[in-house]
Chains A and B, each alone.
Chain A
Amino acid sequence: MKTVSSIALALGALLVLAVPRVAAAETDCLSCHGDKTLQDASGHSIGVDGAKFGASIHGSLKCGDCHATIKDYPHPDQVTPVKCETCHADQAAGLVGSVHANRAEHPCTSCHGDAHSIFPKADSRSAVYPLNIPRTCGACHGNAAMAQKHGLPNVYPLYIDSIHGFALSKEGLLVAANCQSCHGSHHILSHKDPLSPTYKANIPKTCGTCHAGITENYMGGVHGKAVAAGNLNAPVCTDCHTAHAILQPTAAAFRMQSTPICGSCHKDKLSTYRDTFHSQLGSLGGYVETARCWDCHGAHDVLPASDPRSPIAKENLVTTCGRCHAGANASFVQYQPHANARNRKLNPALYFVRLFMNLLLAGTLGFFMIHTILWLIRSRYDQIKRKAAGGGKNA
């Protein structure tokens, strides 16, 4: 008896605690809409989980606060859609002019989830909780068909396998960049819009919100200065690191993919780099230590050789080369990592060495090729003649 009564008491206490909030959300409405299977004429669910709603951020509101057009019971079959902007005016204003401005296509609930169970963004149950944002955005932006229809890259898989995605999904790092860290939330603009945080000129500042030190370095380098001066051909963070599929820069995959990125602008430098041992070694997988562009030039604060702070300034070469080549000396650093053996004016010695080697190769092979072919024909002819005469192989 004693246990039963204590259970009853506990249940009673629970009811007392829970009931007032549900009651506040109006038991009248829930007498019908409490049926979770309830559907309207077009088949949409119009059932509401009273308990869940009570716990949500809007739990203290009455149904009529949002469904303002419903005054009496019974109410008409067709009701006016809820206007969130009645309370959330700032957010609604933000949406105007954004890529999600079309309210029919992008109702608030498309990001915030079920209207009756919206939680504060700091609550892990919220669809816009930092760790949930990629999945929320990915519902559309991870859909290949949708991406194709709007001419957008299918970014979710790229992001989720990136260094940011891993930090977020594997380590639950709240400060890891999620979609809205770079794109914003309500006033999301196309990267073509100069006001967008993802507009090329604004990217250093956007990434700099977290990567402040790197951005400062970058702004001091030739690329940063060029971008600041309005030259949008110069690379910003995303040109080298990509926007979504960002890799750990020390990762083999990044070291393998990065050189062609620099080379997409510095074509002549890439071509001469390709001729060197650094590139030949580096092109083959599994040996990623060989010098890539930024190992010598610096990554963010790239400076011309004429700047004494540059790692490729004459006075710093022994140190720079010495990072890999123990024992590098003044003579060693005269090596030209971008020598062009095809350019007689720039590298005359190398040009003539190459010319000599090519002539030697062509001459030797050319002569012996003719020699061997003639020999083959002649000895085959002789052999057939000998065989016809009844002799042996070597007779």
Chain B
Amino acid sequence: MPDQEPKVAESSEKRPTGERYFMRFTRAQRYLHAALFTSFLGLAGTGLPLRFSESIWARGLAKGVGGFGAILFFHKFCAIVLTVAFLIHVKDLFTRAVMHHEKGIFWGKTSMVANWKDVKDLFGHLRWFLGLGPKPQFERYAYWEKFDYWAVFWGMVVIGFSGYAMWFAPFFAHFLPGWALNAVLVIHSEEGLLAILFIFSIHFVNTHLRPDSFPMDMVIFTGVESEEEFKHKRTQEYERLKAQGKLESRIAEAAPVWLLNFSKVVGFTAIFIGLLLLVLTLTAYFGS
């Protein structure tokens, strides 16, 4: 996390509430998420009509954007955007791990890699759901957030590879067996369906729609969250930083009103499109 200048902290105190704000996501991470969800919505919106090409809404949608030729174009365009975003992320990880020897990437409290605490947290959380134990305290990334991350990571590799294998089938046929050309469509469409169903139901609810964040967790858009939220959601990280005396370095300026409003418009649009696609998917899935 980049160190924050002290002046940032001062300006945040101008807020009448006097509430302090803390940095969670860097600008680059927020842009990456934005590129991810816009291209994902595009891919879902153009992929679903293909998956359910027999349904009336799929044909209507395809007709609306200029037939399948246009749908295929948008799908491939979004695929390239997402591939580029993915490669930038991988390059970033590589730079941080290999060039800067940043060990916290692969293990430790701030890593995305699952550890024993995540297993304990999962079972602890489940026990808490049922009223059988106390609520676990989470570190920087909770186990479901790590799952989201790796699901997307795995999903992009699997969907991406199978997608490109179809796009450049004659080329891939040089080193893939014949049946694999059949399999890639099954893989692409099932994994795509899983991604769509997961993101538009589980991720939406876990991250945005659950009572603690309802109606939307703005931190991925603004990069900052209030002290109260930080303390409540990621108690262990908060306490750790406080004990290490690093808490002050994470203090950031509250998001400007325009960014908050802009993020709300973008975020709600994304959630609305996502839920709409979810409903269409479910109707097509259970209607067929």
Interface residues of A (CB under 8 A from B): 274-277, 279-287, 325-329, 331-336, 339, 341, 347, 349-350, 353-354, 357-358, 360-361, 364-365, 368-369, 371-372, 374-380, 382-383, 392-395
Determine the chain A residues whose CB is within 8 A of the CB of B185 once the complex forms: 275-277
Residue of B nearest to A283 (CB): B53
The interface size bin for chain B is 35 or more
Residue of B nearest to A322 (CB): B170
Q: Is the CB of B210 closer than 8 A to any CB of chain A?
A: yes
Q: How far is the CA of A361 from the CA of B285 in the complex (A)?
A: 13
Q: How far is the CA of A10 from the CA of B278 in the complex (A)?
A: 87
Q: How far is the CA of A328 from the CA of B170 in the complex (A)?
A: 5
B15 to chain A, nearest CB (A): 16
A341 to chain B, nearest CB (A): 6
Among B177, B194, B231, max chain A CB count under 10 A is at: B194
Determine the chain B residues whose CB is within 8 A of the CB of A364 once the complex forms: 151, 194, 198
Q: Is the interface of B mostly helix, strand, loop or mixed?
A: helix
In contact, B128 and A369 (Cβ under 8 angstroms)? no
Q: Is the CB of B119 closer than 8 A to any CB of chain A?
A: no
Q: Is the CB of B264 closer than 8 A to any CB of chain A?
A: no
B75 to chain A, nearest CB (A): 11
Determine the chain A residues whose CB is within 8 A of the CB of B187 once the complex forms: 353, 357
Q: List 9 A-B contacts (CB under 8 A).
A: A280-B50, A280-B53, A281-B68, A332-B173, A334-B177, A334-B181, A347-B179, A354-B186, A375-B129
In contact, A375 and B198 (Cβ under 8 angstroms)? no
In contact, B178 and A368 (Cβ under 8 angstroms)? no
Q: How far is the CA of A357 from the CA of B191 in the complex (A)?
A: 7
Determine the chain A residues whose CB is within 8 A of the CB of B233 once the complex forms: 394
In contact, A395 and B68 (Cβ under 8 angstroms)? no
Q: How far is the CA of A283 from the CA of B68 in the complex (A)?
A: 9
In contact, B51 and A280 (Cβ under 8 angstroms)? yes
Partner among B59, B210, B231 whose Cβ is within 8 Å of the Cβ of A375: B210
Task: Contacts A336-B178, A339-B182, A369-B202 given; indicate if A395 touches B191 (C-beta within 8 A).
Answer: no
Q: Is the CB of B125 closer than 8 A to any CB of chain A?
A: yes
Instruction: Taking A287-B67, A331-B177, A350-B186 as given, write out 5 further A-B residue pairs in contact, using a Cβ cutoff of 8 Å, ordered by the A residue number.
Output: A334-B177, A353-B187, A357-B190, A357-B194, A365-B194
Partner among B69, B178, B202 whose Cβ is within 8 Å of the Cβ of A334: B178
Q: Is the interface of A mostly helix, strand, loop or mixed?
A: helix
Partner among B129, B169, B193 whose Cβ is within 8 Å of the Cβ of A332: B169
In contact, A329 and B170 (Cβ under 8 angstroms)? yes
In contact, B183 and A380 (Cβ under 8 angstroms)? no
Per CB-CB distance, the 7 closest pairs between chain A and chain B, nearest first, are A286-B67, A334-B178, A287-B68, A357-B190, A332-B173, A327-B170, A374-B129
Determine the chain A residues whose CB is within 8 A of the CB of B72 once the complex forms: 281, 287
Determine the chain B residues whose CB is within 8 A of the CB of A282 once the complex forms: 68
Task: Contacts A334-B181, A394-B229 given; indicate if A361 touches B194 (C-beta within 8 A).
Answer: yes
In contact, A378 and B176 (Cβ under 8 angstroms)? no
Q: Is the CB of B49 closer than 8 A to any CB of chain A?
A: yes
A156 to chain B, nearest CB (A): 30
Contact with A along B27-69 (1 / 0, CB 8 A): 0000000000000000000000111011000110011001111
In contact, B169 and A325 (Cβ under 8 angstroms)? yes
Residue of A nearest to B191 (CB): A357
Determine the chain A residues whose CB is within 8 A of the CB of B93 once the complex forms: none
Determine the chain B residues whose CB is within 8 A of the CB of A336 once the complex forms: 178-179, 182
Determine the chain B residues whose CB is within 8 A of the CB of A372 once the complex forms: 201-202, 205-206, 210
Among A279, A328, A347, A378, max chain B CB count under 10 A is at: A378
In contact, A325 and B170 (Cβ under 8 angstroms)? yes
In contact, A281 and B50 (Cβ under 8 angstroms)? yes
Q: How far is the CA of A285 from the CA of B71 in the complex (A)?
A: 11
Q: How far is the CA of A350 from the CA of B184 in the complex (A)?
A: 9
Q: Is the CB of B228 closer than 8 A to any CB of chain A?
A: yes
Determine the chain B residues whose CB is within 8 A of the CB of A383 once the complex forms: 211-212
In contact, A394 and B70 (Cβ under 8 angstroms)? no
B235 to chain A, nearest CB (A): 11
A362 to chain B, nearest CB (A): 9
In contact, B211 and A360 (Cβ under 8 angstroms)? no
Task: Contacts A286-B69, A394-B212 given; indicate if A332 touches B50 (C-beta within 8 A).
Answer: no
Q: How far is the CA of A283 from the CA of B177 in the complex (A)?
A: 28
Determine the chain A residues whose CB is within 8 A of the CB of B68 once the complex forms: 281-282, 284-287
Q: Is the CB of B197 closer than 8 A to any CB of chain A?
A: yes
B171 to chain A, nearest CB (A): 7
Determine the chain B residues whose CB is within 8 A of the CB of A279 once the complex forms: 53
Task: Contacts A331-B174, A376-B210 given; indicate if A358 touches B190 (C-beta within 8 A).
Answer: yes
In contact, A376 and B205 (Cβ under 8 angstroms)? yes
Residue of B nearest to A352 (CB): B183
A285 to chain B, nearest CB (A): 5
Determine the chain A residues whose CB is within 8 A of the CB of B126 once the complex forms: 371, 374
Determine the chain A residues whose CB is within 8 A of the CB of B177 once the complex forms: 331, 334
Among A327, A375, A395, max chain B CB count under 10 A is at: A375
Q: Is the CB of B240 closer than 8 A to any CB of chain A?
A: no
Within 8 A of A (CB), among B113-146: 125-126, 128-131, 135, 144
Q: Is the CB of B166 closer than 8 A to any CB of chain A?
A: yes
Q: How far is the CA of A364 from the CA of B72 in the complex (A)?
A: 29
Determine the chain A residues whose CB is within 8 A of the CB of B202 once the complex forms: 365, 368-369, 372
